[in-house]
Amino acid sequence: MSKKYKKPLTTDELAALPDDQIDTSDIAELGEAFWKNAKVVPPRTKPNVSLRLPQDVIDHFRAENPKGYTARMAAVLSAYVNAHQSK
């Protein structure tokens, strides 16, 4: 805890402080290298799901393109859902 505050602040107390009164001295500076390599990462619009699959299924999808195999698995599952919804 910084010496600037006599006691730890609650979330409400911190939110009530003007920005120029918040002690940020313990936050590291972000230099040129950080911003040079920074990338915008959009928020996920799909939930993460853990799924146990047979190794041969994973191998099949990875063989075509290791970087995009999960997207192809999702496309196959979506096609399955679409085919069964039309019935």
Q: What is the pTM of this model?
A: 0.48
CA angle 38, 41, 44 (to 5 degrees): 165
Instruction: Spell out the per-residue pLDDT of the chain, length 87, in tens.
Output: 445 677 888 899 889 989 988 888 888 888 898 889 899 888 888 888 999 999 999 999 999 889 999 999 999 999 999 999 966
pLDDT tens for 51-76 read: 999 999 999 999 988 999 999 999 99
What CA–CA distances, in Å, run from 79 to 46, 61, 72, 83? 17, 16, 10, 6
Sorted by where each begins, the domain ranges of the chain are 11-39+49-85
